[in-house]
Amino acid sequence: MSPRSLILFPAPVALAALLLCACGEPEPITYQGYAEGEYLYVSSPLGGELETLGVSRGETVVPGAPLFTLERGQESAAMEEAALNLRQAENRLADLAKGDRPSELAALEARLDRARTASQLARKEWERRRRLFAEKTISAEDLDQAVAAREQSAAAVDELRAELTTARLGGRSDVLDAARAEVGAARQRLAQARWRFEQKRQDAPQGGAVFDTLYVAGEFVPAGYPVVSLLPPQNILLRFFVPENVVGTLSLGQSLSVSFDGAEGSYPARINYISPQAEYTPPVIYSRQSRAKLVYLIEARPDPEDAADFHPGQPLDVRLEAAP
């Protein structure tokens, strides 16, 4: 063998070795997917004309931001009426609890004083006539009249004393219980009227983007129909499909990287749902590396700080990372 042949012989062997090394490190398979959103539909449990719409499509709102208000004139009047009824019930209960008015109590006390004075005079007259009767100066009939006057005046004192005690006690216990029950019912009616009034205005329960507004000011909105749909960042989902021979290698919490057209780099995400049921390959989802007829839906969530970069319906390229 010539020296030239000895020099050239290792070249094919080296090329084959390089090809084998390249085949041992295949590029990760990319799965096609799309972004999806779980929308938050905001509605009122009561119907009415849409009075104000405080947001527009594409706007970003913070939690508690006013979204819309329905006409609530009737609810406002009902709330004012309920508040007035509550005040009346509370005043009636207070009046029953404190008894008669001070002027009425003063009148009873004055009558009691007069009755005591009269009773003292009657007693003195009785004692005087008793002595006269003992001296046989007056008849028995005159003494009997003095006895009757004394007993009558004493009874009048007892009666007025009892009336004064009753007047200071206030209403009877059963009447007071009924008045307290009426106050409680009035408070419940006011709370219900206030709830209906407040439900005609809806604020953002979470922060996020206003995905759509479904009514314009002046339209009638039926009860329970959404007026605004929100898309909070944490409600962004990333969906893709994998073949049957891959789904068994995935696990919840597994990391993956996601990219899309125009992105400067890839975004991290984690798998949070693996469908237990197979389905036929959707026409719009396909892969040149796989010919499987059945695929499994996989859902993942991006990091919260990256969620705003994804938009519902946006095509995605997903690459799996090794399971932890």
Within the chain, where are the H helices? Answer: 3-8, 10-23, 73-97, 102-134, 140-169, 173-199, 244-247
Place 72 in a pLDDT band, splitting at 50, 70 and 90: very high
Report whether 129 contacts 146 (CB < 8 A): yes
Q: In 10 A of CB 113, how many CB atoms?
A: 12
Cα separation, 131 vs 310, whole angstroms: 117
pLDDT tops 70 at residue 19: no
**CA distances in angstroms from 58 to 51, 99, 219, 311, listed in the order given:** 21, 65, 21, 12
Q: 0.75 cut: is pTM over it?
A: no
Half-sphere exposure of 83 (CA within 13 A, CB side): 7
* CATH fold label, 27-38+232-320: Elongation Factor Tu (Ef-tu); domain 3 (2.40.30)
For residue 239, pLDDT over 70 is answered with: yes
What local confidence, expressed as pLDDT, does residue 261 receive? 92
In the predicted structure, residue 2 carries a pLDDT above the cut 60: no
- Which residues pair with residue 241 across a beta bridge? 297
At residue 218, the pLDDT reads 96
The number of residues in the chain equals: 324
pLDDT at residue 170, as a whole number: 55
The pLDDT > 70 percentage for the chain reads 84
- The tally of CA atoms less than 13 A away on the side-chain side of residue 163 is 16
Bridge partner residues of 36 (DSSP): 237
Residue 312: both structure tokens together: 């519902």
Confidence of residue 1 (pLDDT cuts 50, 70, 90): very low
Which region, left, alpha or beta, applies to residue 113 given φ > 0 means left and ψ of -120 to 50 means alpha?
A: alpha
Strand 208-213 to strand 60-61: parallel, antiparallel, or no bridges (unpaired)?
antiparallel
> Model confidence over 102-157: pLDDT tens digits?
777 788 888 888 888 988 988 888 888 888 888 878 888 887 888 888 888 889 88
Full DSSP string of 56-81: -TT-EE-TT-EEEEE--HHHHHHHHH
Q: Which CATH architecture group holds 40-71+199-231?
A: Beta Barrel (2.40)
Kindly state the average pLDDT of the residues 215-230: 97
Tokens describing residue 27: 């590029």
Greater model confidence, 297 or 17: 297
Range from 24-28, 64-68, 164-168 that averages highest in pLDDT = 64-68
pLDDT at residue 134, rounded to an integer:
83
Q: Is 170 left (phi over 0), alpha (psi -120 to 50) or beta?
A: left
| Nearest partner of 314 among 265, 275, 262, judged by Cα | 262
Least confident span in 95-104, 159-168, 193-202: 95-104
